Chain A
Amino acid sequence: MNELHRRRRALARRTIPAATVLLLPALLLPTLALASGGGAGAATRPELLVKTILGLLGVVALAYLGGHPRVNAWEARLGISHVVTAGFPFVLLGLAARHPSVGILTDPVVGQLGTLLGIALGWIGLVAGFRFDARLVGGLPRGTARVVALATAIPFAVVVGLTGLALLSLTGGLGGAAPRGGVLRDALVLGTAGAMTAKTSARLLRSTEPATLLSRIIRIEELAGVAGLAAVAAYFRPEVEGTWQLPGTAWLLLTVGLGATMGLVTYAMLQCTRPGRAELVVLSLGAVSFAAGLAGSLHLSPVVVTFLAGVLLANFPGAYHGPLGAALRRLERPVYLLSLFAIGALWDVADWRGWLLAPVFMATRLLGKRLGANAAARGELPLGLEAREALAVAPLGPLAIAIVVNAQLLYPGRSVSLIASAVVGGAILTELVVQLVAHGKLLTLERRARAAASAPEGDSREATG
Chain B
Amino acid sequence: MNLVLLVVLGGLMHATRAFGPAAPGDAGTLLAFGYVLVSAFFAGGLFKQLRLPRLTGYIATGVVAGPMVLGLLSREMVGSLDVVSGIAIAMLALTAGNEISFRSMRPLLRSVAGISVVGVLGTTVLLTAAVWLLRPLLPFLRGLGPAQAAAVAFVLGVVMVAQSPAVVVALRDELRSDGPVTRTALGVVVLADLVVIVLFPIASTLAKAAFGASADAAGTARLLAWEIFGSLGAGAVVGAVLALYLRKVVAGAPFFLLLVTIVIAEVGRRLHLDPLLVALAAGIVVRNASGAGDALHREIQPSSLPVSIVFFAVAGANLHLDVLALVWLPAGAFVLVRGAGLLLGSRLGALLAGAPPVVQRYAGFGLLPQAGLALALSMLFASTFPEFGAEASALTLGVVALNELLAPAAYRLVLLRCGEAGRRAPELPDGEAAPPLALVRR
Residues on A lying within 8 angstroms of B by beta carbon are 46, 49-50, 53-54, 57, 60-61, 64, 68, 70, 111-112, 114-115, 117-119, 122, 240-244, 261, 265, 268-269, 272-273, 276-279, 281-283, 285-298, 409
Contact = CB atoms under 8 A, between A and B. Distances in A.
Nearest to B262: A57
Contacts of A261: 12
6 contacts: A64-B252, A114-B24, A115-B30, A278-B301, A283-B38, A296-B24
Contacts of A268: 1, 4-5, 8
Of the candidates B19, B21, B25, B271, the one having the most CB atoms from chain A within 10 angstroms of its own CB is B19
A286 B306 contact: yes
Contacts of A286: 34, 37-38, 41, 306
Nearest to B30: A293
B270 A46 contact: yes
Contact of A277 (B5, B267, B301): B301
Given A269-B42, A296-B27, A278 B305 contact: yes
B132 to A, nearest CB: 38
Given A46-B270, A54-B267, A261-B12, A282 B38 contact: yes
Contact of A296 (B26, B259, B304): B26
Nearest to B303: A281
B31 A296 contact: yes
A240 B21 contact: yes
Interface stretch (B113-121, B213-221, B349-357, B426-434): B426-434
Contacts of B437: none
B16 interface: yes
Nearest to A113: B26
A294 B5 contact: no
Interface in B162-219: none
Contacts of A115: 25-26, 29-30
Nearest to B305: A278
B309 A282 contact: yes
A293 B20 contact: no
B2 interface: yes
Contact of B431 (A269, A277, A290): A277
A290 B252 contact: no
A118 B270 contact: no
B21 A293 contact: no
Interface of A is mostly: helix
A294 B14 CA distance: 11
Given A54-B263, A68-B252, 6 more contacts: A53-B263, A242-B21, A273-B45, A278-B304, A278-B431, A290-B37
A241 B20 CA distance: 8
A118 B306 CA distance: 18
Contact of B20 (A244, A277, A290): A244
A256 B58 CA distance: 31
A271 B159 CA distance: 44
Interface string B411-439: 00000000000000001011100000000
A57 B27 CA distance: 22
B46 to A, nearest CB: 11
Given A277-B301, A296-B26, A242 B306 contact: no
B250 interface: no
B306 A243 contact: no
Contacts of B28: 293, 297
B5 A293 contact: no
Interface residues on B, range: 35 or more
B35 interface: yes
B9 interface: yes
A290 B267 contact: no
Given A50-B267, A242-B20, A281-B303, A114 B25 contact: yes
Interface of B: 1-2, 4-5, 8-9, 12, 16, 19-21, 23-35, 37-38, 41-42, 45, 251-252, 254-256, 259, 262-263, 266-267, 270-271, 301-306, 309, 427, 429-431
Nearest to A289: B34
Contacts of B30: 115, 118-119, 122, 289-290, 292-293, 296
Nearest to B430: A277
Interface of B is mostly: helix
Given A53-B267, A282-B309, A293-B32, A269 B26 contact: no
A60 B304 CA distance: 18
Nearest to A45: B270
Contacts of B33: 289, 293
A462 B21 CA distance: 71
Nearest to B268: A50
A218 B111 CA distance: 67
B34 A290 contact: yes
A273 B5 CA distance: 12
B262 A50 contact: no
Contacts of A243: 19-21
Of the candidates B33, B34, B251, B427, the one having the most CB atoms from chain A within 10 angstroms of its own CB is B34
B255 A53 contact: no
A278 B37 CA distance: 12
Contact of A53 (B19, B21, B266): B266
Nearest to A51: B267
A53 to B, nearest CB: 5
Contacts of A112: 26
For the complex of A and B, the 7 pairs showing the least CB-CB separation, nearest first, are A293-B31, A290-B34, A296-B27, A289-B34, A114-B26, A243-B20, A293-B30
Contacts of B429: 276
A270 to B, nearest CB: 11
A297 B431 CA distance: 36
Nearest to A117: B26
Given A53-B263, A118-B26, A261-B12, A240 B271 contact: no
Contacts of B42: 269
Nearest to B1: A272
Contacts of A240: 20-21
Nearest to B25: A114
Of the candidates B21, B255, B304, the one having the most CB atoms from chain A within 10 angstroms of its own CB is B255
Nearest to A241: B21
A298 B305 contact: no
A12 B16 CA distance: 55
Contact of A279 (B32, B35, B305): B305
Nearest to A274: B429
Contacts of A273: 45
A64 B42 CA distance: 30
A6 to B, nearest CB: 34
B20 A272 contact: no
A59 to B, nearest CB: 11
Contacts of A297: 16, 19, 23-24, 27-28, 31
A269 B26 CA distance: 25
Contacts of A241: 21
B31 A290 contact: yes
A273 B42 CA distance: 9
A111 B256 CA distance: 26
B19 A290 contact: no
A462 to B, nearest CB: 55
Nearest to B17: A297
A115 B33 CA distance: 10
Contacts of A294: 12, 16, 31
Contacts of B20: 240, 242-244
B302 A118 contact: no
B163 to A, nearest CB: 25
Contacts of A287: 34, 38
Contacts of A117: 26
A291 B13 CA distance: 11
A64 B253 CA distance: 11
A332 B230 CA distance: 39
A81 to B, nearest CB: 25
Given A53-B266, A276-B427, A283 B41 contact: yes
